[in-house]
Amino acid sequence: MNTEARIRIRVQLGDLPLFGPGKAALLTAIDEVGSIAGAARALGMSYRRAWLLVDSMNQNFTGPLVAASPGGRGVGGSRVTDLGRRVLAAYHAVEVDAARAAGKPLADLQTMVAAEPGPSVAGEPE
């Protein structure tokens, strides 16, 4: 078990889950491999799930975060747009600032965790 306490940031607009660690990982993987399908494989995610997340991101920002070129295996591809890179950079900046702000309280919270915490329960609210 990893014993380092950390925080995870999820940005919501009302009830709309706008951006979080999963979408950030997907954007990063698309940027690295150049395709939605390849990024999905790299993350152990179904292509459909990855495509739905990309579609959601593209609809919920002022422009697309991912530009896809249709064409199938060996022909098409995807790239993260400049806006996508800016969104990703802003999200990572929020993570850094939040981790910095949470430093001491998070460390204090970690000292209160049992030496051998029990298992988490699937669907357990955090």
Q: Delineate the domains of the chain, giving CATH numbers in brackets.
A: 11-111 (1.10.10.10)
What pLDDT is recorded for position 85? 98
Report the C-alpha gap between 20 and 100 in whole angstroms: 18
Which pLDDT value is given to residue 71? 65
Check residue 79 and give its pLDDT. 95
pLDDT the model gives residue 30? 97
Closest CA to 33 of 89, 80, 84: 80
User: Which residue positions in the chain have pLDDT lower than 50?
Assistant: 1, 124-126
3-class secondary-structure state, position 19: strand
Please report the pLDDT score of residue 119 as a whole number: 76
Q: What does the pLDDT read at residue 110?
A: 84
